[in-house]
Structure 1
């Protein structure tokens, strides 16, 4: 099974720039070993189970909880049985159809 998660999580009580806080979350995801892609508007990662995905989200919140009084988050899931490596495969599928690599 493949659980693709796209999410953004950041404090709303720490001013205009929150990269200091977001970087804590990205470091945790990187150290977890799951495949992920950081984007300007959020992060996409892939796990094999919903429990693993929810654990990553819980740990993301725990990175902010100690010193952030208000945290905003959006989360989207794409769950598909019998598939894996969709973080890469979904992009390749589109690239094949348009005949070129998508700008990165």
Structure 2
């Protein structure tokens, strides 16, 4: 099992970025992975790294499609193998 904590938002669109974050979270949820959103990040649970990276890419694409010129991404991964 892999847990990832994702923070993603545009840095080029002013101080109010909630609509961008909302679309990114929607894209994450559409992957079918278990996602839990909080005030500062979204936790994603997946069976493998590829699923995590694909989900992050979908969230990124959602923000790009909205016209953002610069996007900040923080991704922390905990891959437990026991």
Query: If the length of structure 2 is used for normalisation, what is the TM-score?
Result: 0.92
Q: 1:41 aligns to what?
A: 40
Q: 1:76 aligns to what?
A: 76
Q: Confirm or deny: 8 A CA contact 2:28 2:56 kept in the other structure.
A: no
Structure showing the higher helix proportion among its residues? 1
**Structure 2: tracts of 5 or more residues without a match:** none
Aligned alpha-carbon RMSD (Å): 1.0
User: For residues 20 and 71 of structure 1, what CA distance do their matches in structure 2 show?
Assistant: 14
1:80 CA drift (Å)? 1.0
Q: 2:31 aligns to what?
A: 32
Structure 1 runs (4+) deviating above 4 angstroms are: none
**Structure 1: tracts of 5 or more residues without a match:** 83-104
Question: For this pair of structures, how many residues does the alignment match?
Answer: 81
Structure scoring higher RCO (CA < 8 A, sep ≥ 6) equals: 2
Larger Rg: 1
Q: 1:62 aligns to what?
A: 61
Q: 1:98 aligns to what?
A: none
1:29 CA drift (Å)? 1.5
User: For residues 23 and 54 of structure 1, what CA distance do their matches in structure 2 show?
Assistant: 19
